[in-house]
Amino acid sequence: MKKIKTQSQRIKVVILTMIFVFFAAFTACKDDIETEEPIASFQYEIDATNFLTVIFTNYSQNATSYEWDFGDNNVSTEMSPVHIYETTGTYTVVLTAINDEGAYATYSKDITINDPQTALTLLAGVESKTWKLYRVGTSLGVGPDADNPRGWWALENNGTRPCLYYHEFTFHRNGTYVFDDKGSMWGEEGVFHESVEATCFGAIASNMVGPNGENLSAWLGGTHAFEYTPSSGTLKLIGTGAWIGLVKTGTAGEVTVPQNSVTTKITIEQRDGYDYMHVLFQYEWGVWSFSYAHYFDSTLEPDVVEEEEPWGEDLPNITPNELFHTFETASTFELIGAIGGTSVITVGQTDPLGGGTNVGKFERVAGEQWQEAQLRTTPTLYDIQFNNFNVAKIDIYIPAGTDFTTLQRTFVFGFADQSATQEWWNSPVQFVKSGDDVILGAWHTYTFDLTDVKARNDIDMIYLGIGGGGHAAGGVFYVRNLIFE
């Protein structure tokens, strides 16, 4: 090796050596920074207003990109994402932090999503929940008690009242309650004017009129409020006209005008593909019950039956010249001899006032809310044409000592089509006597004009109800000489 002989050469060597050492050190520092490993870390919190919403905060280091796996088959590449879960449960969340050279680190944590108000969520969802009348089997009805809530009558999705099945009742988590009438209302008998009674009619204010001109428009679609007490199952709807079930189902009994609030009892159960809510109005005389459903998959919801299928049969017509029943014996009648119905008429009984001719004993069956005695043609059923008669007369005896604490001082005498009308009570020709017009303690002959009856050609049943409806009280009365002239 040659020796360095000059001073300048020695200086050059020193300078070159220093430069080499500097660049070597710089390169070594640069390599140390580039190879520093990423660290993955995060924290989370549950949103205060929506328990399914989780807010993630990323605390990773030495990383430039991120991959999140939320444990519910959803992912994100945001730095600090907000994720909304579909349901409660425990989920394993994995965060992968990646640097520019592709090095990565992962961090995982189990998070549990709980519903702080499970019962309220069943009713109102996380934000809101819409309920419609249940479309399978019976959906509403009336009965004697909670154990037999539809024992007296029940409605099915069969085309008789289709508008009721379109109505939507929506509960919002913030306490708002919204009824959407979907453009149509049902003319509840005895509540609405006869022009719309027992029909689905347009949901406009001009149609929302009671029998005596009452303004019922508050029952139309609108926004109200609600209070729900899960511990007792009590639901209170707040606001004039707020309702559920039927417009007439009030807190303490049936009503004929909108109320300021309505309170009822509900139970909710989770079923396969939908939630089911049972609404119960409990009164002294019985109960009204209603079934509602919320479908998570709308394709599972049955369609509304728009038109009622033909029910029963149209009987052959008969135009008699004589028509009567004396109730003296089982054979002292002309044509109308078959006696049925919930109330019982037993013929051939001793006159309670000592008359020489036997009469019929009319008994209300205790425990039955709606009842009447029914007479039909025998031995063959016919639609009776009343062309040859102008009036009907019947003698009725109501004992002076009758207790009207529960019984009502009233009776109805009516005509209906039972054979071809499933709900014959919605379209009868009916006469009502009440109060002082009902004579006590003596036989009295009541006379009824048959003009409206003669206009019908489908009447196959004559009925008599004594003591009123809407209660289950029994009673004993007497009848004789039902005569058509």
pLDDT tens string 249-305: 999 999 999 999 999 999 999 999 999 999 999 999 899 999 999 999 988 899 999
* Alpha-carbon distance values, 91 to 72, 73, 76, 150, 369 (Å): 7, 10, 15, 45, 55
Give bridge partners of residue 46 from the DSSP assignment.
54
pLDDT of residue 9: 52
Do residues 239 and 200 make contact, with C-beta atoms less than 8 angstroms apart? Answer: no
Residue recorded with tokens 């999503």:
113
Distance CA 407, CA 145 (A): 19
pLDDT reading at 30 higher than 50: no
pLDDT reading at 6 higher than 80: no
Do residues 97 and 105 make contact, with C-beta atoms less than 8 angstroms apart? Answer: yes
* 199-222: pLDDT as tens digits: 999 999 999 999 999 999 999 999
Q: Average pLDDT of 182-197? A: 96
Beta strands in 274-428 (DSSP E): 274-282, 287-295, 317-318, 324-325, 333-334, 336-341, 344-349, 359-364, 373-377, 383-384, 391-397, 410-416
Return the number of other C-beta atoms located less than 10 Å from residue 343's C-beta: 23
Residue recorded with tokens 């009204």:
288
Taken in order of first residue, the domains within the chain and their CATH numbers are 42-113 (2.60.40.10), 118-300 (no CATH), 317-484 (2.60.120.200)
Distance CA 18, CA 34 (A): 25
* Alpha-carbon distance values, 454 to 313, 389, 391, 431 (Å): 21, 8, 10, 14
Give bridge partners of residue 4 from the DSSP assignment.
none
Token code pair at residue 479: 């009848």
CA-based R_g, the chain, Å: 40
pLDDT reading at 21 higher than 80: no
User: Which residues fall within 8 angstroms of residue 451, CB to CB, at 6 or more apart?
Assistant: 390
pLDDT reading at 26 higher than 50: no
pLDDT reading at 69 higher than 90: yes
* Alpha-carbon distance values, 118 to 162, 241, 270, 363, 468 (Å): 33, 28, 12, 51, 45
Reported as half-sphere exposure (CB side, CA atoms, 13 A), residue 17 has a value of 6
Do residues 459 and 453 make contact, with C-beta atoms less than 8 angstroms apart? Answer: yes
pLDDT reading at 10 higher than 80: no
Distance CA 149, CA 141 (A): 7
Residue recorded with tokens 């509403």:
140
* 84-114: pLDDT as tens digits: 999 888 999 999 999 999 999 999 999 988 8
- Out of 110-119, 136-145, 255-264, least confident range: 110-119
Banded pLDDT at 18 (limits 50, 70, 90) = low
User: Which residues fall within 8 angstroms of residue 266, CB to CB, at 6 or more apart?
Assistant: 123, 233, 235, 277, 278, 279, 280
* 319-357: pLDDT as tens digits: 999 999 999 999 999 999 999 999 999 999 999 999 899
> If residue 118 lies in a helix (H) or strand (E), which one and from where to where?
helix 118-124
pLDDT of residue 29: 46
Give bridge partners of residue 480 from the DSSP assignment.
395
Q: Average pLDDT of 408-424? A: 94
